[in-house]
Amino acid sequence: MSLTRPLTLTVAALGGQGGGVLTEWLVAAGRLAGFHAQATSVPGVAQRTGATIYYLEFFPDAGDGRQPVMALMPSAGDVDIVLAAELVEAGRMVERGFVTPERTTLVASTHRAYTIDEKAQPGDGRLDPLPLQADLAKAARRLVAFDMAALASRERAVVSPVLFGALQGCGALPFPIETCREAIKRYGLAVEVNLRAFDAAVVAAREGVKPDVPSAATIPTVPAVFVSRLERYAKPVQTLIAHGIERCREYQDDAYAATYLERLDAVVAADPTGSVTAIMARTLPLWMCFEDPCRVAQLKLSPGRIAGIRRHALAKPTDLVHVREFLRPRVEEIAGLLPNAWGRRVLRNARLRQWLRRFERDITLTSTSVTGYLLLRGLLFLRRFRRGSLRFAEENRWLIQWHAAVVTAAGRDADLAVELAECQSLVRGYGETIERGHARLQKVLTLSSRAACYTAANIRLLREAAERDGDGDAFEQALARMVAGGPMSGEARL
């Protein structure tokens, strides 16, 4: 093959995705195919705030002994191929100018590994993937994109051999497939598994993978006792309500699911348009199933979680996998497990609080050991006494106050009621996060005494301020401006 300039390739991979191994394979394949090959890398940032960038250049060896001069880093507008091991990383490559419609073939996995900013949002901070994929298609000369993580999981591999196979399968590499397979063999790391994943990706890229088409939502099966009650609601919200029933049953029991329906019935009676009911069908069970130590133990012992960890570790059925949990219980959480009266007494007694602080420390627990498992099972056992606990009483008090405000607003201002229903997002999480959320919700509800401020637009403004800046002062500043000047002007919006 004759080239007048090097073939340039950039790889963006997260930690644990095998970007370094993929780079070694590409360099080896290039040299086996008769190319000069060079690779450099710039490490990414920890905690999912950026990927490691690998940059490679290839130039055919003319056999005359001359060595080409190659660059050490990619330049915007001068990259032929970009590999992105995750969807947002593909977007970052576009943002940095490495992907151009005149030149670049973009090979990207459509799965998501959520960023810290997305996870830190009190509300739903996830990026919508559909517009991003459409933008990627416009930004690149050619886009090859499918869920490579799912294919890797099916083949019990990491994503790097799938990226390699997709790159080979789409025809962007000037190397024959045999040299790529030989590079994997010579590297000697999990050869059989990596070759299987590589071959599967080659086929997927050659044949083209159709995008997933969302299937029609199906109503989950609910116990017979709830079927007739479910049929009373409008068809569009029955699926949401059925999921709410199942969530409450898993969290506590059938009686708790019945309580969910009773609270929802009160909303339906006050909601002539049905718009508030649709929101509350989703937000009510989210709050009712708040995270206490019993819930944490339940989630950590979930068979689905353990199976997922084993898949992630590529463990064989005969392999032993040890899972270590990191906990830091607070005095308030310990007291919250106690009966309501006892817990209040503990929190009021300075000596008892001080004595309990000895347990307020970092704890490493191996949940796959007998001791760790029994401790978590013990916490889960306390679930049957949850309704009598201090934490349940306090959480239920806040929830009833919010529910009453939504029902009251639904009868006179549906838009306001919808925004109040969405304020459930303020009280997610645990520890200091949920305590801060309770305080903010209380401030939102006290605006009812100020008719000029108690509007749908202002409630939405406060909620969005809290979601954008969970630990900052944006909420307090917005609230102060609102109380001082009445309804917010456009200039004061965040």
| pLDDT tens per residue, range 158-195 | 889 999 999 999 998 998 999 999 999 999 988 999 99
The identity of residue 383, as a single letter, is R
DSSP conformation letters of 99-136: --TTT-EEEEE------HHHHH-SS--PPPHHHHHHHH
| Total H helices, total E strands in the chain | 23, 8
Q: Where are the domains of the chain?
A: 7-207, 215-289, 293-388, 417-494
Both tokens assigned to 333: 């959480």
The C-alpha atoms of residue 257 and residue 334 are separated, in whole angstroms, by 26
pLDDT in tens, 424-433: 988 887 777 8
User: Scanning the structure block, which residue is given the tokens 């009686």?
Assistant: 255
| Cβ-based neighbours of 85, under 8 Å, separated by 6 or more | 11, 12, 13, 14, 17, 19, 51, 109, 148, 159, 160, 163
- Residue 213 has what pLDDT? 45
Query: Which of 154, 171, 416 lies closest to 271 in space, CA to CA?
Result: 416
pLDDT in tens, 244-302: 999 999 999 999 999 999 999 999 999 988 899 999 999 999 999 999 999 999 999 99
| Cβ-based neighbours of 440, under 8 Å, separated by 6 or more | 426, 462, 466, 475
Half-sphere exposure of 417 (CA within 13 A, CB side): 24
pTM of the model: 0.71
| Cβ-based neighbours of 66, under 8 Å, separated by 6 or more | none
Count how many residues are written for the chain: 494
Q: Which of the four pLDDT bands, split at 50, 70 and 90, describes residue 471?
A: low
Question: Is domain 7-207 classified as CATH 3.20.190.10?
Answer: no
3-class DSSP state for residue 327?
strand
The C-alpha atoms of residue 63 and residue 34 are separated, in whole angstroms, by 9
Q: Sheet with 52-60: list strands edge to edge.
A: 35-42, 52-60, 7-13, 81-84, 105-109, 142-146
| Cβ-based neighbours of 212, under 8 Å, separated by 6 or more | 147
Burial (CB < 10 A; 0-12, 13-18, 19+), residue 26, is buried
Least confident piece of the model among 52-61, 100-109, 303-312, 378-387: 303-312
Query: Which of 349, 351, 354 lies closest to 331 in space, CA to CA?
Result: 354
Both tokens assigned to 455: 């509007």
- Residue 411 has what pLDDT? 87
Q: What is the mean pLDDT of residues 61-83?
A: 86
Alpha-carbon torsion (455, 459, 464, 466), positive or negative: positive
- Residue 492 has what pLDDT? 37
- Residue 44 has what pLDDT? 64
Alpha-carbon torsion (90, 93, 99, 104), positive or negative: negative
The C-alpha atoms of residue 360 and residue 316 are separated, in whole angstroms, by 37
Least confident piece of the model among 40-49, 295-304, 433-442: 40-49
Specify whether the backbone of 34 is left (phi greater than 0), alpha (psi in -120 to 50) or beta: left
Q: What average pLDDT does the structure give for the chain?
A: 86
